[in-house]
Structure 1
Amino acid sequence: MVASWSGEPDVAPPTPSAQAAQYCRALDAKLPGEVLGHPRKDPSPASPYTAAWASSPRTVLTCGGDRPDYLNDTLRKGPCVDEVGWGMSEDGRGGYFFATGLRLAYVEVHVPAGAYPNYADPLSSFSPAIRAAVPRIDGTADSDCLDGNS
């Protein structure tokens, strides 16, 4: 990977299907300009399928990639935040990957170690945009959360 102007590595955008690309472009337009006090500073190359925020280290969101393997592991069920269910996996460096699994495009967020006091804190910034832009696989507006908690 080549380092971008900020010293952070560039992010290769996913190559989504035509349907997922439509949802990811809509999501990109709805993503927040700031997450918990950190401004949006997208990675290079610019793409509607990647977004980043200037936490230290930065938080990166991708949309339209392949289904992460960790979503197949029921022991890796992550939090439910504002009616969006997340699977999660450690990144091997003290941070976490989170991914939606019940949506028509996979949205994955990498929260590196040290970016926030609580590793799941930024998810509440993304959930409203995901609910608005990326439909559930069953076409309903129901909660992704199996227990009904949000």
Structure 2
Amino acid sequence: MASEAFEEIAETFEFLDDWEERYRHVIELGKAMEPMDDAVKVPATKVDGCASQVWILPRVEGRVFDFQGDSDAIIVRGLIAVLHALYGGLDVKEVLAVDAPAELARLGLDEHLSSQRSNGVRAMVERIRLLAAEQAAA
């Protein structure tokens, strides 16, 4: 189960010939995101387990999950944009049903990220799932 925005990323990846082009695309996705206000880059929004500085701020309206994220590393900022495409706009319970490793594997990210970045993506996914679970229980 993937959002339309994530499907668009997956389709774009199919057309890009090599990983250098795919990395550039991920970076462009990150550059296109709204920057996060420094005032919300606080310990409560910081994601532990990432080599880079990463912040995720949930925004839930009704039962619809969304978040804003940022990083001090440009490629990680792009990975946040990919996760936003995967999860943004879903019902909080749908967020919990997303098989993130399988969806991200469709992009080949599991094979082309360093172990540090893979660990960071897992930490971000865990944080997003935790935030959605808190909202689903509310």
TM-score between the two structures when normalised by the length of structure 1: 0.34
Which structure ranks higher in relative contact order (CA pairs < 8 Å, sequence separation ≥ 6)?
A: 2
Of Structure 1 and Structure 2, which has the larger fraction of its residues in strand? Answer: 1
